[in-house]
Chains A and B, each alone.
Chain A
Amino acid sequence: MKIAAVESWVEQPLQSFVDDARVRIALLLHPSGQVVAQAGFTRRMDVMTACALAAASHATSRELGRYVDGKPFRGLHYAGPDKQLFLGTIDTRAGGFICLTVFDDESSLGLVRMYFEDFSRDLAAAAPAATETGTPVLAVDFEADLNKNLAMLFGRGGDVIIRNA
């Protein structure tokens, strides 16, 4: 299964996890809901929506853990009739990550959990130190592109501005 990653250093650990644990879908994301890498997604499923829901589910189970057990839950498992879902957290020096995996009877919860531990360790080892880059990303004159695209999205312009500080 092919990995698509925003961060190249996650590719190898995630590829090994996907291959070894035989999961159908794997999604690595920031706790804020931003995708870092994915494998197994088809056009039918929107990656960003899955990220938003996974981040929400993760946040909820952490808070629920704190509420009922005094400490955050670090993993979540759901067994559906055909597919199962496992959601776990990974701490690295580049920050915390959430991993969502979906698997079927080609794998098992035990297998997924076992390889998830390896994955967590490999990812932590591969992670670079967190950095705040100060490199400008967009050209200074990006506003023309932005206005053109937004006008296209809404099919119009607009001038209800009271004051634009």
Chain B
Amino acid sequence: MSLVNYATREITCKIVYYGPGRSGKTTNLHYIYGQVPDDRKGKMVSLATQTDRTLFFDFLPLDLGQISGFTTKFQLYTVPGQVYYQTTRKLVLQGADGVVFVADSQKRQLEENVESLQDLHHNLAEQGVDARTVPLVLQYNKQDLPAELVHSTADLSDALNFRGVPEFSADALHGPGVFETLRSISELVLKRLSAGASAGAGAR
């Protein structure tokens, strides 16, 4: 649910990075955090285990600047990917305006990608949200790994992108594809706002 404050002309949107464990969701946020100037980002918060696996979420507030006269702020969240953090994923997904699904391109991870995508649809449905209406972007991460270890983007597209949503090849550790993914989900979320589809209960 995007929050629109007409008095201060401010929009706040929530973007959730979803995907299986170790697919690179936190790495996406770290890369963004490292690239964005200090005055355009807040503190990155990571609730992680001692081994740096996401326990609850990572959170990064971003100031996108003025868009159509509105100061536009994005809250980027990641969910913990491990199967046993199902409850936590549901909680973080609440009120998401858009979802980036970060798939792990490694061949041995294909099943985990499919399960995680099903889990996303299931969790949205549980919250009464039709997954087809939520802005979604797919990112095929770790495409920098040797070709024999990873599926091609065409194969991943066949397996995961049955909705025909925007999709991006990425190497989140070094940056390629990270910016493009963020740009695409930002555009989809704001397009919904420009169409009047998601200025929800908070709009006044």
A→B interface (CB under 8 Å): 6-8, 30-36, 46, 48-49, 52-53, 56, 59-60, 63, 94-95, 130-143, 145-147, 149-150, 152-156, 158-165
List residues of chain A with CB within 8 A of the CB of B75: 33-34, 48, 52
Q: List 21 A-B contacts (CB under 8 A).
A: A7-B202, A32-B96, A34-B1, A46-B43, A48-B73, A49-B43, A49-B59, A59-B91, A131-B201, A137-B193, A138-B193, A141-B68, A145-B65, A146-B187, A149-B64, A153-B64, A154-B36, A160-B170, A160-B180, A161-B180, A164-B166
Among A46, A154, A156, A161, point to the contact of B61 (Cβ < 8 A).
Answer: A46
| Distance A56 CA – B88 CA, assembled complex (angstroms) | 9
Closest B residue by C-beta to A48: B61
Q: B153 to A162, Cβ gap below 8 A?
A: yes
Q: Count of B residues near A, CB < 8 Å?
A: 71
Closest A residue by C-beta to B66: A145
Most buried by A among B11, B35, B67: B67
Given contacts A131-B201, A150-B183, A136 and B196 within 8 Å (CB-CB): yes
Closest B residue by C-beta to A45: B43
B→A interface (CB under 8 Å): 1-5, 7-8, 10-12, 14, 35-37, 40, 42-43, 45, 47, 56-57, 59, 61-62, 64-70, 72-73, 75, 77, 87, 91-92, 94-96, 153, 157, 164-170, 176-177, 179-180, 182-184, 186-187, 190, 193-197, 199-204
List residues of chain A with CB within 8 A of the CB of B176: 160
Most buried by A among B2, B40, B65: B65
Please provide the 5 A-B residue pairs with the shortest distance between their CB atoms, ordered closest to farther: A32-B95, A149-B65, A136-B196, A138-B194, A59-B91
List residues of chain A with CB within 8 A of the CB of B72: 149
Among B4, B77, B177, B197, point to the contact of A160 (Cβ < 8 A).
Answer: B177
